[in-house]
Amino acid sequence: MGDSSVFEHSDSFDSSGSSMVNWSLQLPETHTAEFEEAVAFKRACEQHLSAQILTPPSSDLDSLSEGEDYANNPFHDPTLSSVSVSTTFHAAANLLHIPTDLVLISSDGVVFHVHTGQLLGASTNDFNHLIFPNAARSSIVDTVACVPEPAAVLNIILHSVYEISCTHYHPPLATLIAAVDAMPPYGMSPKVHVQRLLFALILGLAPTQPLAVYALASRHDLLSLAQPVSSHLLSYPLDSFTDELASTISARYLNKLFLLHVGRLATLKQLLLPAPQLHPCTPECDFGEQKKLARAWVLAAGYLAWEGRAGVSIDYTLCPVSTCMLTWWDVVVIAVVDTSPSAIEGALSSLAPRLSCELCKLTLAARIKDVISRWSFAQVYQQV
């Protein structure tokens, strides 16, 4: 309106990187019709902006001690002056040499200040189409995005994007699994990001829930993770698999797991099959006496190979003479439920105390030593 323009506007940026529009009203000396029209226009603009701009309250960063877990900071009432902000991804974090230009808000209301270029570089689908390349960013509304993941999961994803270790947060295994499962929708490859930073963290927690980690590896074809984890599943009873449990593991990896168990039992049977070698006959121990040891070995080995399950206690039972068709000294294990090397050694060594022939004891000890040595070696290398 010429020299008496009613108001002017200028663009500026707040501390979070969100652009704001500042309106300054220049009042004319008298309330004319033009003045009333300008005021009404200004109010309409303000209402239009407030309906489009999502501006989170300023964060009280001084109240967050260094290394404090953001999950312990509750999301305050909107009427207050602060919200929960990630202690790693805040506006003053200086993770890169450029200021942050994007605000992500988790499903539980935690704010993460990040860089658009960093997320776009790690994603193949513009971070699940939540953001746009810099060339396409033309409005302030693109600087804020809400994600459906909770803060604990989003925190791990962003640490992977920035290639920062999240070990100091001590995330539980369930959170790590949820973060890896959430990567593909954001255009991130678990093969790349798990191998770089999360591999050792997940593998360290695998003994507590090996089947859950194996299922995770199967869903994302992480063979390098599935192989070491599968050694913890040697004791898992396959007959306890339910349809629901099997559906969490891909068919290829489920087949690998079944073949691992089948191959393991086949290996144990081959190791236990030969009985202790016969020694030259003596007046105290002839061929017939040595055959009794061989029969006792076959019986004990049979229960070890066909009834064995790793990771369970051993139940030793004396075999009645009338049942086993053996002599009075034959003590065998008829309820062995453990195939660990130490358990096998204990089960087979139970045959020795009743032996009176020293040569038989030596041949038995040599045979047990050979079985344990080869079985321990097989245990180490039995993986999918």
All structural domains of the chain: 2-52 (no CATH), 61-208 (3.30.710.10), 269-381 (no CATH)
pLDDT, mean of residues 193-202: 90
pLDDT computed for residue 355 by the predictor? 83
Q: What type of residue sits at position 184?
A: P
Query: Which tops the pLDDT comparison, 27 or 131?
Result: 131
Would residue 355 be called left, alpha or beta, if left means φ above 0 and alpha means ψ between -120 and 50 degrees? beta
Retrieve residue 167's tokens. Answer: 């070990």
Specify which residues 144 forms β-bridges with. 103
Contacts of residue 21, defined as CB under 8 A and 6 or more positions apart, other chains included, come to 9, 10, 11, 49
Instruction: Tell me how far apart the alpha carbons of residues 263 and 50 are, in angstroms, rounded to a whole number.
Output: 67
3-12, 297-306, 368-377: the lowest-pLDDT one: 3-12
- Going through 147-224 in order, the beta strands assigned E by DSSP cover none
pLDDT computed for residue 306 by the predictor? 66
50-59, 260-269, 323-332: the lowest-pLDDT one: 323-332
Tell me the CB-side half-sphere exposure of residue 227, using CA atoms within 13 A.
Answer: 5
Instruction: Tell me how far apart the alpha carbons of residues 261 and 257 are, in angstroms, rounded to a whole number.
Output: 7
By percentage, how much of the chain surpasses pLDDT 70? 66
Instruction: Tell me how far apart the alpha carbons of residues 223 and 348 are, in angstroms, rounded to a whole number.
Output: 36
Confidence label for 249 from pLDDT (cuts 50, 70 and 90): very high
Residue 124, pLDDT > 80, answer yes
Please tell me the pTM assigned to this model.
0.66
pLDDT tens digits for range 28-65? 444 455 455 544 544 544 444 344 334 444 444 343 33
pLDDT computed for residue 36 by the predictor? 56
pLDDT, mean of residues 349-370: 89
pLDDT computed for residue 74 by the predictor? 45
Residue 85, pLDDT > 70, answer yes
Name the residue among 176, 173, 204, 182 with its Cα closest to residue 123: 182
pLDDT, mean of residues 316-334: 36
pLDDT, mean of residues 196-210: 93
